[in-house]
Amino acid sequence: MSGLRRRLTEDADGDDPLLSVVNLIDVFLVLIAALLLAVAKNPLNPFTDERVTVVRNPGTPGMEVVVKEGRKIEHFRGDGASQSAAGGVRAGSAYRMPDGGLVYVPE
């Protein structure tokens, strides 16, 4: 019987395969927390109702302006100079109103 008891205590001190699974769960919890922080710090976070304007590649022909107001997101790409050089024509005029809105008047 003493050999059986010694064998049981030796197995308890050995490597348990479930310990590695617990370690993997801890790693995934840390990864999920890091991803949640990244989403929360993103200016275009879908869970906020703020007005946010993001300009990508400013001053270049590939410039993009992203405006988020509440849950509505609008994208504006390029500038007028690069489009007219590519053969585009003027299609109208836009006027900014005192309340900040834009009015497009076709020609």
> pTM score, two decimals?
0.40
Contacts of 84 (CB under 8 A, 6+ apart): 90
Question: What is the count of structural domains for the chain?
Answer: 2
What length is written for the chain? 107
Judgement on whether residues 57 and 76 belong to the same structural domain of the protein: yes
E-state strands within the chain = 51-56, 64-69, 72-77, 92-96, 102-106
Judgement on whether residues 37 and 64 belong to the same structural domain of the protein: no
- The per-residue pLDDT for range 30-53, each reduced to its tens digit, is 999 999 998 888 877 777 777 888
Judgement on whether residues 37 and 63 belong to the same structural domain of the protein: no
Higher pLDDT, 13 or 49: 49
Q: Which residues span the domain enclosing 12?
A: 2-41
- The per-residue pLDDT for range 58-96, each reduced to its tens digit, is 777 778 888 888 778 888 876 554 444 455 667 778 888
Q: Is residue 101 part of a domain?
A: yes
- Mean pLDDT over residues 2-29, rounded? 70
